[in-house]
Amino acid sequence: MIAHIHGPVTQCGSEWIVIDVSGVGYRVYVTQNVLQSVSPDNDLFLYTSLVVREDSMTLYGFLSFIELEMFLLLIRVSRVGPALAMRIIGLIPPEKIALAIITGDEKELVRVPGIGSKSAQRLILELGDIMKERFRACKAERKPSSHNDAILGLIALGFSEDISRNAVSQVFVSETGDTTAEILTQALHIIRKKGTEVK
């Protein structure tokens, strides 16, 4: 399995880039966000997932480990293939995908072309169970629901309960009250700044 790839970009297509590694060019499918931010000769590091089909072997690349984790979760859902998963990740940050699934927010998910109401419900149903399994040991506290939802969102992304709680506790919550999405985004920034790996 190819866990990551690092090297100069030699070509850019409509959905993929080619990265040169010791003279061998690897075609890696990436999100539109990546395509818009790179050009030939850029040095790039990507976390990768190799998807093997009966008639193909396709490499998908991600700028962060969290994006890779979300990709692997999404493709477990029935009728969600790698291409649709890449489209979702390219339009909605992983933390907001997790939040939408946890809170049952269909409107956020149907923003993605190819995701209708039924598909959104299927994502929430199938991934909701998986994410709840990740944080089933997480006990509710006497704090605003947005605080607890943010913790659950981080745990659903693969961070430990301790790391998630510590990060959220460092986020300043104003008197008017920040939204769950804002708290989650700020907490994720704190974790990334510390260089904490998913555990």
Give the CATH number for residue 162: 1.10.8
Same domain as 70, residue 53: no
> What's the pTM?
0.71
Residue 41 has pLDDT above 60, yes or no: yes
pLDDT of 64 reads: 85
Angle ∠(64,29,153) on CA atoms, nearest 5:
35
Q: What is the pLDDT of residue 141?
A: 43
Within-domain flag for 150:
yes
pLDDT tens digits, 114-172 = 999 999 999 999 998 777 666 444 434 435 567 777 887 888 888 888 888 888 888 75
58 and 75 part of one domain: no
Are 58 and 73 in the same domain? no
pLDDT of amino acid 146: 73
Element (H, E) at 117: helix 117-134
In the predicted model, is pLDDT for residue 173 greater than 70?
no
Q: Give the largest Cα separation in the chain, rounded.
A: 57
DSSP state of 160: -
What is the dihedral angle through the alpha carbons of 74, 50, 69, 104, rounded to the nearest 10 degrees? 0
43-57 pLDDT per residue, tens: 999 999 999 998 999
Tell me which of 95, 112, 134 is where a domain ends: 134
Q: Identify the residue whose tokens are 């060019």.
A: 25
CATH number of the domain that residue 45 is part of: 2.40.50.140
Q: What is the pLDDT of residue 148?
A: 73
> Which helix (H) or strand (E) element contains residue 124?
helix 117-134
Tokens linked to 141: 């506290």
In a domain? residue 174: yes
- Does residue 179 fall inside a structural domain? yes
Q: Is residue 84 part of a domain?
A: yes
User: Residue 125 is encoded by which pair of tokens?
Assistant: 């149903």
Domain containing residue 164: 145-194
Is 56 found in the same domain as 11?
A: yes
Q: Which amino acid is at 46?
A: L
Give the CATH number of the domain where residue 70 resides. 1.10.150.20
Residue 116 DSSP SS3: coil
pLDDT of residue 7: 95
Question: What is the reported pLDDT for 197?
Answer: 52
For residue 139, being part of any structural domain is answered with: no
User: Residue 73 above 70 pLDDT?
Assistant: yes
Q: Using one digit for the tens of pLDDT, what is the confidence trace for 13-27?
A: 999 999 999 999 999
Contacts of 103 (CB under 8 A, 6+ apart): 149, 180
Nearest C-alpha neighbor of 173 from the set 197, 137, 145: 145
Residue (of 31, 35, 119) closest to 83 by Cα position: 31
Count of domains forming the chain: 3
Contact indicator for 140, 174 with CB cutoff of 8 Å: no
Burial 25-44 (b: 16+ CB within 10 A, else e): ebebbbbeebbeebeeeeeb
Q: How far apart are CA 148 and CA 145, in angstroms?
A: 5
- The three-state secondary structure class of 131 is helix
SS3 173: coil
Instruction: Report how far apart, in Å, the C-alpha atoms of 74 and of each of 3, 12, 78 are.
Output: 18, 25, 9
